[in-house]
Amino acid sequence: MSFEDLKAKKPDFHIDGNPESNIKHVIGVVSGKGGVGKSSVTSAMASLMVKAGYKVGILDADITGPSIPKMYGVHGPALGNENGTFPVEAEDGTKIMSINLLLDDEEQPVVWRGPVIAGAVKQFWTDIIWGDLDYLFVDMPPGTGDVPLTVFQSLPVDGIVIVTSPQDLVSMIVKKAYNMANMMDIKVLGVVENYSYLACPDCGKILKPFGESHIDEVAKELHLEVLGKLPLDPEFAAIADAGKIYSREIKDLDKAVEVLKSIEK
Ligand SMILES: Nc1ncnc2c1ncn2[C@@H]1O[C@H](COP(=O)(O)OP(=O)(O)OP(=O)(O)O)[C@@H](O)[C@H]1O
Ligand SMILES: [Mg+2]
Ligand SMILES: [Zn+2]
């Protein structure tokens, strides 16, 4: 092997999962900035796949801002045995692991530095007994920092879904996430636009409170699929606060389901 070959060979940081986990597909959910709806879109895709008959888990990789347990109404402590820790099962059967299920006090902030946070995410892979799963969704913190990097390097990610909103600097943000995925040899499954529009509850008129969408143009330029455009949902807060996110009715992610079903190893 020549020196050039050596340089071109990327180091492999992949780590083995728990011996009692058998996970067919790992899907990352990312965004350029906070609050655009990653966790909501993660739960929406997860519950659609559950309804389609698949075994589904969610790894909440947002260590400093975990939101999945609350949306699903699950609480710790997660139980374990000598081989690892079990995820907590939501009412619809979704298996969930989040830092909040391991803390003694859910309201205690996590004040760890980057490497420790990244270590915790790796442990969600190595130490959690996921059992048999068809799809494990990884809900990321916003941006392209330590955690997405760790997940992309350490876990066998099949592909990522990029979530944006119309008021985002969509083009730049989608391209950043897209470029990061490319650098790590990870496939982008497509983009989901959240807060795309609002249907007036009285007359059904479509309003665009966050402005016109540019997602189609950006997706076309990058040869990406638009997996869905989700409306501002007036019922969302109530369902999420009640911990029943899985009961939300979602009509706008058919394309996402189709793409997820068609992933081949
Ligand atoms: N389509 C929607 N309609 C109404 N409310 C929504 C919608 N999507 C998300 N929300 C609300 O917006 C807030 C942010 O959503 P979410 O937590 O999914 O975003 P996020 O990108 O995961 O945020 P973070 O960057 O903090 O992880 C939540 O309080 C959620 O209830
Ligand atoms: Mg989130
Ligand atoms: Zn109206």
| pLDDT tens-place string over residues 204-237 | 999 998 888 889 998 999 999 999 999 999 899 8
Which ligand 1 atom minimizes the distance to the CA of 230? 1
Cite the DSSP H helix spans in 13-87.
38-51, 68-72
Taking alpha carbons only, the member of 149, 134, 147, 143 closest to residue 162 is 143
| 38 Cβ inside 6 Å of ligand 1 | yes
Quick check: is 2 in a domain?
Answer: no
| 240 Cβ inside 6 Å of ligand 1 | yes
Quick check: is 122 in a domain?
Answer: yes
Quick check: is 92 in a domain?
Answer: yes
Q: Relative to the alpha carbon of 203, which ligand is closest?
A: 3
Q: By residue range, what is the domain housing residue 132?
A: 11-259
Q: How far is the CA of 82 from the centre of ligand 2 (A)?
A: 31
Quick check: is 174 in a domain?
Answer: yes
Which ligand 1 atom minimizes the distance to the CA of 40? 18
Quick check: is 94 in a domain?
Answer: yes
Q: How far is the CA of 40 from the centre of ligand 2 (A)?
A: 7
Query: In which element (H, E) is residue 177 found?
Result: helix 170-183
Q: How far is the CA of 209 from the centre of ligand 2 (A)?
A: 22
Where does residue 10 rank: exposed (0-12), middle (13-18), buried (19+ CB within 10 A)? exposed
Quick check: is 4 in a domain?
Answer: no
Q: Tens digits of per-residue pLDDT, 140-192?
A: 999 888 999 999 999 999 999 999 988 766 678 888 889 999 999 999 999 99
Looking at the structure of the chain, the number of domains it has is 1
Identify any residues that bridge with 85 across adjacent strands, giving them in sequence order.
80, 128
Q: How far is the CA of 216 from the centre of ligand 2 (A)?
A: 24
Q: Tens digits of per-residue pLDDT, 77-122?
A: 999 999 999 999 999 999 999 999 999 888 888 888 888 999 999 9
At residue 251, the pLDDT reads: 86
How far apart are alpha carbons 251 and 197 in whole angstroms? 14
Quick check: is 208 in a domain?
Answer: yes
Q: Tens digits of per-residue pLDDT, 4-25?
A: 665 566 678 899 999 999 999 9
Quick check: is 1 in a domain?
Answer: no
Greater confidence, 109 or 40? 40
The CATH code of the domain that includes 147 is 3.40.50.300
Identify any residues that bridge with 133 across adjacent strands, giving them in sequence order.
23
| 98 Cβ inside 6 Å of ligand 1 | no
